């Protein structure tokens, strides 16, 4: 039925921007979201709710920060949110067969996510995880983690000058399958006997926007060192009061990266030829960190 309505709609209703025709019993809302510097903001979450607080539309901005949706006529509450920014909210009135162009909406940073106080922060092993996902010969995925590690964040007066160093016990690899874990510890992969540790040392912190940072550095694996860039979301700082924790000041972040096994001298073809259950040529790394400021 709705396609019939679309076909009956006059051509001039598409508008100068070349939008798709609007159903006769609804309206269209368009907007573009920018950050505090006027840069396009993709991935911002846009939600509309009606008079009874029911959700009438929901989606995210595209790579150009744009959002378009059809909604029923009437009054809607429109809210826009994105990580590291204060929520923007307003009321809009949409008419029948109307194209409501809201123009540009600029989000402001969330001041609660200011950089942490300078000092030395050590990873809390009970609230930090270093996980990875790898394809298994193109047919499924293997999920694993490293259980033993140590990490230190040296927060400088200027946050961009801060430094991270992480040391991971290669033998602590855990995918939930003992035979596979032994193979990963062998010379085919981590070669734990000769290279017991993985090490990451940062070179530079680059602020992208709001809570998004790029942390570039070098990872040493199997005695080979290669550059790695961590896409990092800063989650803020707070004091935690609890059993055994007397108001510790904590900072948190979430980082991801993709590693290529051939960069670290791991022979994919040789391990595949042996017919052993192996992981694929790329590994997606995910790190969730809570670090505690040392006194």
C-beta separation of 219 from 95 below 8 A:
no
pLDDT digits (tens, 9 = 90+) for 248-288: 899 999 999 999 877 776 654 545 545 444 556 788 999 99
- Output the pLDDT for position 10: 41
Please state, in angstroms and rounded to a whole number, the distance separating the CA atoms of residues 89 and 81.
9
- Give the chain's mean pLDDT: 86
Q: pLDDT over 70 for what percent of the chain?
A: 83
Are 59 and 84 in contact by the 8 Å Cβ rule? The answer is: no
Residue pair 224/264 in contact (Cβ under 8 Å)? The answer is yes
pLDDT of residue 278: 55
Longest CA pairwise span in the chain (Å) = 74
User: What are 126-184's pLDDT values in tens digits?
Assistant: 999 999 998 776 667 889 999 999 999 999 999 999 999 999 999 999 999 999 899 88
Q: Quick check: 45 pLDDT over 90?
A: yes
pLDDT over 70 (residue 82): yes
Question: Against a cut of 0.85, is the pTM above it?
Answer: no
pLDDT for the residue numbered 12: 39
- Per-residue pLDDT of 209-233, as tens digits, reads 889 999 999 999 999 999 999 999 9
Predicted confidence at residue 243, as pLDDT, reads 59
The domains of the chain, with CATH numbers, are: 2-109 (2.60.40.10), 113-293 (2.40.128.110)
DSSP 103-172: EEEE--B-GGGPPPPSEEEEE-TTS-EEEEEEEETTTEEEEEEE--EEEEEEE-SSGGG-EEEEEEEGGG
CA distance 235 to 91: 29
Nearest partner of 103 among 19, 33, 18, judged by Cα: 33
């Amino acid at each position: 039925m709705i396609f019939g309505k679309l076909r009956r709609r006059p051509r001039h209703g598409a508008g100068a921007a070349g939008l798709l025709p609007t159903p006769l019993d609804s309206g269209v809302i368009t907007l573009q979201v920018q950050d505090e510097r006027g840069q396009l903001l993709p991935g911002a979450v846009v939600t509309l709710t009606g008079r009874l607080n029911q959700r009438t539309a929901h989606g995210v901005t595209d790579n150009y920060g744009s959002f378009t949706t059809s909604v029923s006529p009437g009054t809607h509450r429109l809210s826009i949110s994105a990580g590291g920014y204060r929520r923007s909210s307003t009321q809009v009135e949409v008419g029948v067969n109307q194209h409501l162009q809201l123009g540009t909406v600029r989000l402001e940073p969330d001041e609660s996510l200011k950089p942490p106080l300078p000092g030395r922060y050590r990873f809390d092993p009970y609230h930090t995880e270093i996980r990875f996902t790898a394809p298994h010969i193109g047919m499924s995925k293997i999920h694993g983690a490293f259980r033993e590690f140590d990490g230190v964040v040296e927060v400088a007066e200027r946050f961009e000058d801060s430094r991270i160093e992480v040391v991971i016990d290669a033998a602590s690899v855990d995918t939930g399958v003992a035979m596979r874990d032994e193979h990963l510890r062998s010379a085919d992969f981590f070669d734990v006997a000769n290279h017991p540790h993985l090490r990451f040392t940062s070179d530079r912190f680059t602020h992208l926007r709001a809570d998004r940072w790029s942390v570039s550095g070098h990872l040493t694996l199997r005695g080979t060192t290669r550059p790695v860039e961590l896409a990092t979301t800063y989650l803020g700082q707070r004091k935690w009061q609890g059993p055994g924790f007397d108001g510790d000041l904590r900072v948190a972040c979430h980082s991801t990266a993709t590693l290529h096994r051939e960069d670290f001298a791991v022979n994919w073809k040789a391990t595949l030829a042996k017919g052993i259950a192996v992981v694929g040529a790329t590994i997606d790394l995910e790190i969730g960190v809570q670090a505690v400021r040392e006194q």
